[in-house]
Structure 1
Amino acid sequence: MPDRTLICQDCSREFVFTEGEQEFYKEKGLQNEPKRCPECRKAKKAQFNRNRRRQSN
């Protein structure tokens, strides 16, 4: 499996979906490739966690 270059749906920048990441996704049974670059995934996760904390208070 060669590395693949994908486009982030949030920031439209290119990012590499490495062979190792592809193997990890396959091992975990994940069938869809990532739609966000690592930076946008991190920001989205942080936003989700902030929203969860607000809702639980």
Structure 2
Amino acid sequence: MTDKQLICKDCEKEFTFSEGEQAFYKEKGFENDPVRCPECRKARKQNNDRGFRK
């Protein structure tokens, strides 16, 4: 695996999905790459009470 450059669906900035993050996602059984950058993920969790979808 190598680092991937992805585009955030919220802010449209490019962010790196590192090799270590990819291994973590695979270990947890996640099949899709993240669609939001770390900053937007954090902001979304803070705006949604406990991070759950409404």
Identify the structure with the greater helix proportion.
1
Matches within 5 A, 1:1-57: 1-49=1-49
Q: Gaps (5+ residues) in structure 2?
A: none
Query: Structure 2 length normalisation: TM-score?
Result: 0.90
Separation in 1, partners of 2:30, 2:49: 22
Identical-residue share of aligned pairs (%) = 63
Output the amino acid matched with 1:46. Answer: Q
**SS at 1:26 equivalent:** helix
**SS at 2:15 equivalent:** strand
Q: Gaps (5+ residues) in structure 1?
A: 53-57
1:49 Cα deviation from its structure 2 partner: 1.6
Output the amino acid matched with 1:22. Answer: Q
Paired residues in the alignment total 51
Please identify runs of 4+ aligned residues in structure 1 that moved more than 3 A.
none
Separation in 2, partners of 1:48, 1:20: 27
Separation in 1, partners of 2:5, 2:49: 28
